[in-house]
């Protein structure tokens, strides 16, 4: 997704201050809720009857309740929280998949989200064809993918299998290919959702070395349950609990606060 996005916001005219240009992502008072069905109406008559009785047929589940933070350019930010805390919803708002019902998100730069590795793979196509297919989905031209192709294959360690159909790949090979495509789609901002735990131990170390090389060079947001990754890679971290930011700041302190939720 190679685009400069501004959700529910307008870019101000005139010169931009140096402080503003140093901000890659700004999230201001973001709220998001979903309607969960509670009663099914069997036909139009039942639906009208329910409405007259004041039965909505759904409950409103508030996922995000006023989230505020900024990410500086070149910063490696970790976002942690228990399942259901709102992390994935926040990532999908940043990625433009969801729209906040209240608040504002401003993205300064090209954002590439890696929320679900391998989404868009066609198992009847070869590994080679899937590289170009995924590249097109990320907004790259064939010429751009030609330049990245050798690096993708080398990182995935799959040079002997690129002309085989993806359905003949093991699950580990599929993940390695997806991850290698993802990290070569270098945007200004990378959003990663639990993508460090891929492949075998040797490939995971290779991925860890790659992300260590990004520190200070690229803006990265990492959502993870691994406090080891938070402590190793992140410059700053945010703990989300029940749709709100519970703690923000030093990765070690945020990791300890997260671990304290289980005690």
For 83, residues 6+ apart whose C-beta sits below 8 A from its C-beta are: none
Q: Spell out the alpha helix ranges (H) of the chain.
A: 18-21, 44-52, 87-94, 127-137, 142-156, 171-184, 201-214, 227-233, 251-260
Is 44 exposed, middle or buried, given 0-12, 13-18 or 19+ CB atoms closer than 10 A? exposed
Binned at pLDDT 50, 70 and 90, residue 210 comes out as: confident
Tell me the whole-structure pTM to 2 decimals. 0.76
Count the Cβ atoms, other than its own, within 10 Å of residue 198: 18
Per-residue model confidence (pLDDT) at position 123? 93
User: At 223, which helix (H) or strand (E)?
Assistant: strand 219-223
245 φ/ψ angles, rounded to the nearest 5 degrees: -80, 115
Residue 95 or 7, more confident: 95
- pLDDT above 70 for 49: no
pLDDT band at 253 (very low <50, low <70, confident <90, very high): very high
Question: Which CATH architecture fits 4-9+19-49+62-260?
Answer: 3-Layer(aba) Sandwich (3.40)
Residue spans of the domains in the chain: they are: 4-9+19-49+62-260
Distance in angstroms (rounded) separating the CA atoms of residues 130 and 136: 10
Q: Which of 82-96, 144-158, 196-210 has the lowest mean pLDDT?
A: 196-210
- Under DSSP, is residue 190 helix (H, G, I), strand (E, B) or coil? strand
């Amino acid at each position: 997704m190679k685009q400069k996005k501004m959700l529910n916001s307008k870019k101000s005219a005139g010169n931009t201050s140096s402080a503003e240009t140093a901000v890659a992502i700004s999230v201001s008072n973001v709220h998001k809720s979903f309607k969960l069905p509670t009663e099914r109406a069997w036909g139009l008559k039942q639906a009208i009857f329910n409405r007259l009785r004041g039965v909505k047929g759904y409950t409103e589940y508030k996922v995000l309740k006023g989230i505020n933070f900024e990410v500086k350019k070149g910063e490696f930010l970790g976002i942690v929280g228990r399942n259901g805390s709102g992390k994935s919803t926040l990532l999908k708002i940043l990625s433009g998949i969801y729209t906040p019902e209240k608040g504002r998100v401003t993205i300064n730069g090209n954002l590439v989200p890696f929320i679900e590795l391998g989404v868009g793979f066609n198992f009847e196509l070869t590994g080679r064809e899937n590289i170009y297919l995924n590249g097109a989905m990320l907004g790259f031209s064939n010429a751009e993918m030609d330049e990245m192709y050798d690096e993708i294959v080398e990182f995935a360690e799959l040079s002997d299998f690129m002309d085989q159909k993806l359905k003949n790949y093991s699950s580990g090979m599929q993940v390695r290919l997806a991850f290698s495509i993802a990290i070569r789609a270098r945007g200004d901002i990378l959003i990663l959702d639990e993508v460090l735990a891929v492949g075998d131990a040797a490939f995971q170390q290779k991925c860890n070395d790659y992300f260590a090389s990004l520190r200070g060079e690229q803006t990265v947001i990492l959502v993870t349950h691994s406090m080891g990754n938070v402590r190793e890679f992140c410059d700053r971290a945010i703990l989300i609990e029940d749709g709100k930011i519970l703690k923000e700041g030093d990765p070690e302190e945020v990791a300890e606060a997260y671990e304290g939720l289980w005690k």
